Amino acid sequence: MRLIDGKTISEAIKKEIAAEVASMIDKGKRAPHMAAILVGNDGASETYVASKEKNCRSVGMTSSLYRYDAGISEKELLDAISFLNQDDDVDGFIVQLPLPKHMDVDKVIRAIDPEKDIDGFHPVNMGCLVLGEDTFVPATPYGIMELLERAGIETSGKKCVVLGRSNIVGTPMALLMSRNNPHANATVTICHSKTADLAAEARMADILVAAIGKPGFVTADMVKEGAVVVDVGIHRVEDKTRQNGFRLVGDVDFDQVAPKCSAITPVPGGVGPMTIAALLMNTMKAYRKHISAR
């Protein structure tokens, strides 16, 4: 069994991005600028956004965070989005999800200028993804595709089973894997809560992508001997033996499943750092386009 090291591969990507940023600055251009909107104080969102900011700065990009109280109105959030849409110094931005319940997420996402939508969640960008056109690809599936390619995992002609059909991960993951591309070309099945025999479907996978959102959901009986397993989950579970009182686990029961795999992504250090690297790649894409349009 081989560990697919997302941390090391993401560091290599960040080095490439840092070199490109430095060369643009040498040419007299400004640094790329990513902004994030964070509404409320959700613990996981705070962690994600802090990591995005730190990584952005580490490659020489400008990062700014717009924080709002959970009680702000939808109108106030839409006004903040409109402000960032028009701010010529901002190349791309994200609205961290989840949003408070009183907000219409679809309406909020539609308010983002598709040219600045580095999450790739806007219907225009999702539509381009379906059509196989050049677009902002949502960061988690983009990071996974990049991870598999750089780790030398063959996907062409393989059977890929994606567990989960979210707009953020499962659905775009399935689209990317089935594309006509030497680093995709897989035959894809999406499983979800109404799948009749999910374990049987999962056992067919040469490549199993677990994006279910339940800690330890994938057990050894659901994995074929020699499969490649990609674990998208990241959950805090109580662990009194740890100084901080918790440990991070994925959607896969790692200890049970890893011995059966030819390769597996660890949690942490697998998909997580690649998601951030992919967001930085999207920011570069927005920046290049924005700079050349001036």
CA distances from 172 to 103, 136, 154, 241 (A): 24, 11, 19, 38
In which residue are the tokens 């894809």 written? 188
Alpha helices in the chain (DSSP H): 6-26, 43-58, 74-86, 105-111, 123-131, 139-150, 170-177, 198-203, 254-257, 271-292
**Per CB under 6 A, does 97 bind ligand GUN?**
yes
Return the exposure string of 7-31: e unless at least 16 CB atoms fall within 10 Å of the residue's CB, then b.
eebbeebbeebeebbeebeeeeeeb
- Compute the least distance from the CB of residue 119 to ligand GUN, in Å: 5
Q: Does 174 bind ligand GUN (CB under 6 A)?
A: no
- 119: contact with ligand GUN by CB under 6 A: yes
The smaller minimum CB distance to ligand GUN, of residues 85 and 262, is found at 85
Contact 146, 277 (CB under 8 A): yes
Closest distance to ligand GUN from the beta carbon of 264 (Å): 22
- Rounded Cα distance, 119 and 34, in Å: 11
Q: Which is nearer to ligand GUN, 95 or 223 (CB)?
A: 95
Beta strands 263-264; 228-231: pairing state = parallel
- 206 touching ligand GUN, by CB under 6 A: no
- Binder of ligand GUN out of 34, 61, 162, 168 (CB under 6 A): 168
Contact assessment for residue 189 and residue 195, using Cβ atoms and an 8 Å cutoff = no
Binding-site string for ligand GUN from residue 217 to residue 256, where x marks contact by CB under 6 A and - marks none: ----------------------------------------
Location of structure tokens 């920011």: 283
Q: Which of 96, 135, 171, 283 binds ligand GUN (CB under 6 A)?
A: 96
Cα–Cα distance measured from residue 88 to residue 85, given in angstroms and rounded to the nearest whole number: 8
Contact segment (CB under 6 A) with ligand GUN among 20-28, 94-102, 141-149, 226-234 equals 94-102
The residues carrying an active-site annotation are 52, 96, 119
Q: Does 49 bind ligand GUN (CB under 6 A)?
A: no
**Distance of closest approach, residue 163 Cβ to ligand GUN, in angstroms:** 17
- Binding residues for ligand GUN, per CB under 6 A? 94-97, 119, 139-140, 168
